[in-house]
Every structure is written in C-alpha cells, then in structure tokens.
Chains A and B, each alone.
Chain A
C-alpha cells in the first residue's frame, strides 16, 4: 500500500546493539497487575511494534519507559547501562521522544510557541526556521505561525512529531499515530519513520492495525493481560496469527470469524448489496442544503451540505481531519441550531431549530469523536455517564428526578452487552482505557434503540477486538431498521462498513456512491475535493 523508500531489509536490526532493554518490568495498580515481569528490547535503527489489546499493559509499559511511572520491579538499561528514568525530562535527556495519542498542545498559541514551550527555548526566528527545515525534511510540512486551534487533528499530530524530532531522539515512541491520517498521509508518515530508522533512530510503534505493523515493523512484542506473550517478526507472520496471539484464543476466534483477516482492509461485516437498500422509504436522517458560517466555535464553514440516510443502511463520510466533520456533527447533534427547521430532518420532521435533547428524544443517537469531555464526563461514574444521554429515551427518571437504581442497571447492561472491561458501573469514566470507554459510549447509544445514529471516529485508538464489537453492533443496528451515519478518517473502516460513501472536503460534501462500486483511490479523490465521473 505504500511506496517503500527504503525496504526494511536495508537495516539489519539483529546485528545492532540493544539501545534500550527493559527486564522484568512489573507495575501494579490497585486491583490490577498492569505489567507482569515484561521484557522488551529495542535496537537502534529498528522499528519495533508493541502490540496488544486495550488493557494489555502497553500504555503502562511505555509510561515506565518515558519516566511517567516508576515500576514496582524490573530494570531499564539504556545503551547498555542500567538507568532509572525518574521523569519525562530525564527520558528526554537520555534521548527518548514520545508522540502521545492525545496531544498536549495549547490551542490559543501558535505552532512555534507550542514547540518552544515544550522544549523550554525561546520562540524565535531560529527555531521557526529549524521547524520548517525539520518538518520539510521529514515530509511533515508545518507553518510555525498558525494558531493551533485553527489546525486539524492531522496537523496537530505533525506538531507533536516535529517537536520530538527537533530534539533528535535516539528512541521515538509513537502511540497509535495513524488513527487520524489519510492513506496518503500514512504513506508519508511511514516514509518519515523509515527514514528515521535508516538514520539509526529506534522507533517503538504502538498500533492495533496489524497490516501497518506487518508493513512497517521489523520486530514485534505482543502483550496480553500484562504479560509478554510473544515476540515475532511481523513481516513473517500472518495477520491472523498476530491477532490470535494478541487476543488469546477465546476472543480471537470470534473476531476472526467475523473479520477474516483481522485487518482493517478486509472488514466486510455482511455488507448489503446496493440494491438491498430500501430507497423508496423516506430518509430517516436528511440534511437539506445545510450551510453554516465559520465562527468562534466553528473553524470550518459548511457549504450547502445535503445528505439522505435511509433506514437499514450505513452511510460513511470520509475526509481528512478538520474539513468540517466537527461542524457537521454539531449541526446534526443539535449543539448548533439553525433557523430553518427543514435543514435537518429526522423521519421527515424538521428539527434544525430544536435543541439536542429534543432531537435525542425523537430517536437521534450521537457519539462524538472526543471520548473524554464530549462523549463522556471523565470525572463521573459510568452510571452517571449512562444517564447523561440515556435519560432521553430510557426510563431513568421522571418529573425532573433521576432514578439511581435504573441508571445503574442501564450502565450495567451496557457494560455486559458490550464487554466493557471495568470495575463495574461505579468506576469513573476517566479510569477506563480508550477502547473500553468507546465501547461504553457506543453501547449507551445503541441500547437506546435510536432510529438514527451518528458516530464520529467509532474506532479511533481502539484495538481490533473492540473495533469488531463496535462494527458488528453498528451493522446490527442498521439491520434492525435504523439509519447509521459514520464520520471517520479511517478509510479502510468506511470501505468495510458502509453501504454508501462520500467525503467531506473544506466544508463541502461530495455525492454519495455505493461503496461496492468505488475503490480506495476514488474515495481518496473525493477526500481531496474531486468528483467522480457519473
């Protein structure tokens, strides 16, 4: 899928000395052994994959390596010398850089100021020119003077990567970096990473996308339940085998049955043929020439967006981050109201002027992209987060009062039906791993039996097992007669999941096409603002 600049055989990882060696790392949290005597060896010039489901202990291990956590037992050797990494500053001093899945950028500052802050240097012209130089050299073009709040997720990731590269790390840790990128951008990122590896940088690459790992990585360490279960050369193993190692026997067989190669490119969850779609019925969700000016809370203006989603189908909207997806979600969800009622219609009823709660009571389910702080309240329990949107359509209260027992039962139902790994309904949302919280917020909407469900980035940062659960649930919901709209930057996901697909670019929505009749190349064209010949 990617034009190799350098094949991975150009480096010979087996011969290089270990750059960092973790031995017997153990870290326990109350009730959980997150890492149980884990070993990990990364060599200079190699791309090393860290594979595992949510909760397998990847994040804990990486946090130990980056000095954010202190292990209960175990040792870290850096360039052959045993070291204690007591803080991220210490890690950076040694030459470890990390790009987090959740970015830590100040939105009101510029790219240059953010990078300067992270490095504790002055935001001067010299730094600006270094940013331009490094970012261009590694294929991550950045404008140092743009304010971060105007930039898309994809560009923000570039800032984080560039910030790391400026410090010329010997080891670069990447946590799920491709979740927000287009196929072309993924290709560019891989080019960057291969180039870094060829210059001798070691890369520790955390991902759930098995095909990417097979494509990019020289070595893989697989974690399950806090233990290292295997090391493998991903290029020599089938994706099936890797998935089986990662998920253990029980889940793997289930996941593999519905997802043959367990890779995103091959998702085909019983997709309907185009003629199976009940086109004659009224659309359950209709957008009629929605336009929205850019403003304080909208970075991108929407232009004349029209869309029909019928019962029984899944419509996918592809697009590079920051092309109006957030704004479209806000308009559909009712966070932004429009004066013309018919602009947004649910089952033929104009609701664009009505607030989000009323739309939800009419059958709209919404799963925003940002899990913490938007889809869920981090400091509240799952019971409370279930009530947050569940009270509209489930009997969780009456006359302005809320029923705690009913709310807890609802949350428990979501937890059980969607296999959310947590310490019960009273655990805080913030304590769940990303994939488990995502299963919870998706499950919360689906168990309200919505007639229209709109989901943004349903599997961003989610492991294969959870992604399968979520995809299956979305398909079943559509099969039961609901209209499902999926807005995602993961093109493989959309190609596998949706019946019809379109793309949003600069606030304009392309025409929708039957997914079976288009390929990745055509959708890529739509994502760039092009149109397909009829």
Chain B
C-alpha cells in the first residue's frame, strides 16, 4: 500500500525549484502527447514554443496576453496568502468589462480625456461589486467563497451574453450580438505601433511591484499573511479578519475588473459575447506557479501567455485543436501540485500506520 508521510522539514530550495520541475515534466508529457497524436514532435515544439516568440509582433502579443494574467495573478496571490480563495476572477473580469465598456458606450463619440479614466473606474467598481457578493456571504453567513465566487462567474458570462444581444447591441450591427466599436477616445493607447501591445502591460508590471511592496513592506500585507497562516494570532493582536477578507476580495475583484476593461478597451475594442479565453482561471495557475509571489507571478504569467500563443500557432501551422492550450495548462498545474505534495510529503510503500494491531 502506498501512502504519504509528512516530511519533518520541507526543503525551501525545492519549493522554488518546483515550478521549473513542473515545466520540465510538462514539456516531456507534451512531447509524448505530440508523438502519440502522430504529429512531428520537433515541428510541434517549434510551433508551440519558438514561432510565437520569433517576431516583434509575437513578442508584443505575449505582452498582450500576459498583462491580464499578471494583474489578476498578483491580486489573487495576495488573497490566497490570506487564505481567501477567490476562484471567480473570471466573472469579476467580465463584469468589469461590462461596467467599463458601458461607460465607453455611454460617452460614445465624446472626445474627452476623462473617458478612459472613467471607464477604468467603471471596470474596477464592476469587478468589486461582483466580488462583494462572496465577501458579504463569507463575512455574514460564513459561506465558502470558493463556491460562491465560482458560481457567480457563470452568472456574469450569461449577463454579458444577454447585454450584447440586447440592450448594448450595436444598432447598426445587423443584429450581430456585439456592441458598437469603441470610439478612439475610449481605446487604450498603443505602446508599439503595428502591434496590439497597450499600456495595460505597463500597469500590470506596476501592479506587480505594488503587490510586492504591499506584501513585504506594509502592515496590511503582514496582517493578510498572518490571517492566512494563523488567524487567532491575528485576532489577539487586533487584525480584523472580516476587513481582511473584504480587502482581499475587493482587491481581486477590482483588479480583475480593470483587466477586463483593458481587454475590451485594448485588443478587442468592443463588447463581444466572449471577451476572455479564461484569463481569470488561468491566473489561478499563474498565482501558484509564481509561488504566490508578485515577482514570480510576472514570470509565470509570461509562461502561461506563451501557452495561449503556442496553442494558436500550433492550430494554424499543424492543424492541432486549440484545446492543446488547455491541456498544457492543465498538465502544468497538475505537475506543480504534484511537486508541491512531494515537497511536503514523502511516498512510503508499505504497511499503513492505521492498520489494526
């Protein structure tokens, strides 16, 4: 019988090595998968990992995909450290996009500097409002935020789908379920001409640095981590657990909402029935791959962004299904969690300690 036994002292070095090991294992599993599919392995790897990075445009696209992952990943890491498990960032992203996008449509054809900031504010507030529901249920009724935030994601997706096929539909759009294209003043400035890279990427990096400062240098960040590690120790020194839960969810919701707004005001430029390839969920993997550390999250986000680009590229050049992206992401999370388990526990083959004597 195989069982796991807790190690006396988990290795700290292996804690940091785990993401690299997980990446290596993912690569090996990927090669096996390609080989089993009968796809030329080298070509597939080239298409998946090299081609997307071999042009300026590709690198810029990497930034476009990484921006929302960095933003949400950092915000979720901070919450996860406080043991606040916001799994519904995808829904908060969608509602942020709806709220911010509605501002853009409201000020359609208004050429003013305040339109974008107002949209950003709308995005943040929209995401916060969506996250406020699990926060309220958790602090008032002790309802598990994992379930409530996750379920609200699907409500958000249906809400968006209703809005773009109803109230927010483009009146001149031949009944397609889409909003108007945003006016120029409602679009994010491009960072590099000829690419889709927008200022959101810079803001994402700024958020990562701010997240790092929050966690390592502030009383609030300390309180969040104490709440995650030993809530009673926080209580005896006067950290208010309910406020910390609210903060973690508002941070996650607000940032996810802003990321959603950046998507519709950046690469997309209008509201569509589907605006995110699951950034809110992928950001959960990003947060753990980055070891819940804001700077680690930046690197993890770039890797996950590559998995999106690689999937698209493999679809185009090798006719592989887009699901390859999801498979790679899933493999990576699986191997990472496995590595983490093996760091904390060792595998023992033999009699169990619970066997009757």
Cβ 8 A contact of B217, one of A69, A355, A401: A401
B229 x A335 contact (CB < 8 A): no
What CA separation (Å) do A482 and B8 show in the bound complex? 41
Q: Are A401 and B219 in contact (CB under 8 A)?
A: yes
Let me know if B230 and A377 touch, CB within 8 A: yes
* Inter-chain contacts of B355 with A (CB < 8 A): 89, 120
CA distance A355 to B8 in the complex (A): 37
Known: A335-B235, A355-B238, A402-B218. A377 touches B356 (CB 8 A): no
In the docked arrangement, what's the CA distance between A335 and B238, Å? 7
Known contacts: A333-B236, A397-B219. The answer to whether A379 contacts B353 by CB under 8 A is no
Is B140 an interface position by the 8 A CB rule? Answer: no
Contact with B along A372-383 (1 / 0, CB 8 A): 111111111000
- Report whether B354 and A120 are in contact in the complex, using a CB–CB cutoff of 8 Å: yes
Partner of A388, one of B8, B217, B233, B353: B233
In contact, A88 and B353 (Cβ under 8 angstroms): yes
**A244: CB under 8 A from chain B?**
no
Nearest B-chain residue to A296, judged by Cβ: B142
A364 smallest CB distance to B (angstroms): 10
Is the CB of A3 closer than 8 A to any CB of chain B?
no
Contact A89 B217 (CB under 8 A): no
Between B219, B229, B238, B354, the greatest number of chain A beta carbons within 10 A of the residue's beta carbon is seen for: B238
B222 touches A387 (CB 8 A): yes
* Other-chain contact of A389, B218, B237, B354, B356 (Cβ < 8 Å): B237
- Asked whether A360 is an interface residue with its Cβ less than 8 Å from the other chain, the reply is yes
Min CB gap B203→A, angstroms: 22
Q: B229's contact among A120, A167, A377, by CB below 8 Å, is which?
A: A377
For A388, the closest partner residue in chain B by CB is B237
Residue B220 CB within 8 A of the other chain:
yes
- Find chain B residues with CB under 8 A from A387 CB: 222
Measured in the bound complex, the distance between the Cα atoms of B295 and A469 in whole Å is: 44
| A392:B230 contact, CB within 8 angstroms | no
On whether the beta carbons of B353 and A89 are closer than 8 Å, the reply is yes
- Whether the pair A373, B353 counts as a contact (CB closer than 8 A) is no
Chain A residue at minimal CB-CB distance from B225: A380
Q: Which residues of B contact A378 (CB under 8 A)?
A: 229-230
Query: How does the 8 Å CB contact mask read for B326-357 relative to A, with 1 for contact and 0 for none?
Result: 00000000000000000000000001111111
Q: Do A402 and B236 touch across chains, with their CB atoms under 8 A apart?
A: no
Which A residues are CB-close (under 8 A) to B317? none
A373 and B230 contacting across the interface, CB-CB below 8 Å: yes
| Total chain B interface residues with beta-carbon distance under 8 A | 25
Query: Complex formed: what's the CA distance from A120 to B229 in Å?
Result: 31
B122-163 interface bits toward A, Cβ cutoff 8 Å, 1 = contact, 0 = none = 000000000000000000000000000000000000000000
B232 touches A374 (CB 8 A): yes
A93 to B219, CA, bound (A): 50
CB <8 Å contact, A375 and B236: yes
With a CB–CB cut-off of 8 A, which chain B residues contact A120?
354-357
Q: Could you say which residues of chain A place their CB within 8 Å of the CB of B229?
A: 377-380
Interfacial chain B residues near A389, Cβ < 8 Å: 236-237
Residues of A within 8 A of B230 (CB): 372-374, 376-379
User: Which residues on the A side are within 8 Å of B222 (C-beta)?
Assistant: 384, 387, 402
Provide the A92-104 mask, 1 if CB < 8 A to any CB of B, else 0: 1100000000000
B23 within 8 A of A: no
Complex-state Cα separation, A378 to B9, whole angstroms: 13
- The chain B residue with its CB closest to the CB of A335 is B235
Is B238 a contact of A392 with CB atoms below 8 Å? Answer: yes
Q: Mark B45-65, 1 if CB is under 8 A from A, else 0.
A: 000000000000000000000
Cα distance A435–B236 in the bound complex, in angstroms: 20
A373 nearest CB neighbor, chain B only: B230
Determine whether the beta carbon of A360 is less than 8 Å from that of B238. yes
Shortest distance between the CB of A115 and any CB in chain B (Å):
13
Q: Could you list 11 examples of A-B contacts with CB < 8 Å?
A: A355-B240, A356-B237, A366-B236, A375-B233, A377-B226, A378-B230, A380-B225, A380-B226, A389-B236, A400-B220, A401-B217
Q: Which A positions have Cβ atoms within 8 angstroms of B?
A: 69, 87-89, 92-93, 119-121, 167, 333-335, 355-360, 366, 368, 370, 372-380, 384, 387-389, 391-392, 397, 400-402, 404
Listed in ascending order, the chain B residues whose CB lies under 8 Å from chain A are 8, 217-220, 222, 225-226, 229-230, 232-233, 235-240, 351-357
Contacts A87-B353, A93-B357, A357-B238 known; 18 new A-B pairs at CB < 8 A: A89-B351, A333-B236, A355-B238, A355-B240, A356-B235, A356-B236, A356-B238, A360-B237, A366-B236, A373-B230, A373-B232, A374-B233, A376-B230, A380-B229, A388-B226, A389-B236, A392-B237, A400-B218
